[in-house]
């Protein structure tokens, strides 16, 4: 059985989700402003969706397909969002995905959490490449990707359909040899 570590960084703790997080996941991810910034978060975020999502994490980790971390503030213990490596191909590539609850926007938490998870992916899964994408109507996510050192790799025009709107999907990526992020030490 694969166990997911907890990563402790400057202001955040990145830990496995627990079923007890479900009400807060539903509250934060269910905010229309948060759902609007993503390709896949539904709105309304109905009862049971968070529990179903969290319940699938252990199996996805065991298969080596995905790893999902709760983004928790060290100072208060509050759940602020989620960050994941998805569609992992061990020794090769994965996709970085994240969302941060609206009350926590503008504090740099997404960038800080992303740096730690990218370091984890390059180290733990031996990744050569990590990529990410964002809907064009969410340029703030693109700014995070640029801060991470990712390179703009393209744009899928009119690729995403959500709520009757069609939007472009913007692609970024980084190779391990380009990575200049933090190094995680054993026991972190």
Rounded distance, CA 60 to CA 46, Å? Answer: 22
Residues, the chain, total? Answer: 188
> Is residue 14 over pLDDT 70?
yes
pLDDT band at 182 (very low <50, low <70, confident <90, very high): low
**What integer best gives the mean pLDDT of the chain?**
92
Rounded distance, CA 44 to CA 124, Å? Answer: 35
In a domain, 138, yes or no: yes
In a domain, 183, yes or no: no
In a domain, 51, yes or no: yes
pLDDT of residue 188: 40
In a domain, 36, yes or no: yes
Per-residue pLDDT tens digits for 97-151: 999 999 999 999 999 999 999 999 999 899 999 999 999 989 999 999 999 999 9
> Is residue 75 over pLDDT 50?
yes
Rounded distance, CA 122 to CA 99, Å? Answer: 21
In a domain, 18, yes or no: yes
- Contacts of residue 85, defined as CB under 8 A and 6 or more positions apart, other chains included, come to 66, 67, 94, 95, 96, 97, 117, 120, 121, 125, 130
- Omega prior to 3 cis, within 30 of 0: no
In a domain, 160, yes or no: yes
Higher pLDDT, 160 or 130: 130
In a domain, 162, yes or no: yes
- Contacts of residue 165, defined as CB under 8 A and 6 or more positions apart, other chains included, come to 137
Which pair of structure tokens corresponds to residue 158? Answer: 């009119």
Average pLDDT of the residues in 20-31: 96
Domain that holds residue 65: 7-178
In a domain, 49, yes or no: yes
The least confident of 22-26, 45-49, 182-186 is: 182-186
CATH of residue 47: 3.40.630.30
**How distant is the alpha carbon of residue 73 from its chain centre?**
15
Per-residue pLDDT tens digits for 78-93: 999 999 999 999 999 9
Number of domains in the chain: 1
pLDDT band at 181 (very low <50, low <70, confident <90, very high): low
């Amino acid at each position: 059985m694969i166990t997911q570590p907890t990563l402790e960084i400057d202001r955040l703790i990145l830990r496995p989700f627990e079923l007890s997080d479900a009400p807060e996941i539903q509250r934060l991810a269910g905010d229309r402003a948060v759902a609007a910034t993503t390709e896949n978060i539904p709105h309304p975020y109905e009862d049971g969706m968070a529990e179903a999502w969290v319940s699938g994490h252990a199996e996805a980790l065991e298969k080596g397909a995905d790893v999902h971390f709760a983004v928790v503030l060290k100072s208060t213990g509050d759940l602020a969002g989620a960050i994941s490596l998805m569609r992992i191909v061990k020794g090769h590539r994965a996709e970085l995905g994240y969302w941060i609850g609206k009350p926590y926007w503008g504090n740099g938490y997404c960038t800080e959490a992303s740096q730690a998870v990218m370091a984890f992916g390059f180290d733990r899964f031996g990744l050569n490449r990590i990529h990410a994408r964002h809907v064009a109507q969410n340029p703030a996510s693109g700014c995070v990707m640029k801060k991470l050192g990712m390179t703009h790799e393209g744009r899928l025009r009119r690729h995403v359909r959500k709520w009757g709107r069609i939007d472009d999907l913007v692609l970024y990526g980084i190779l391990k040899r380009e990575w200049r992020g933090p190094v995680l030490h054993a026991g972190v």
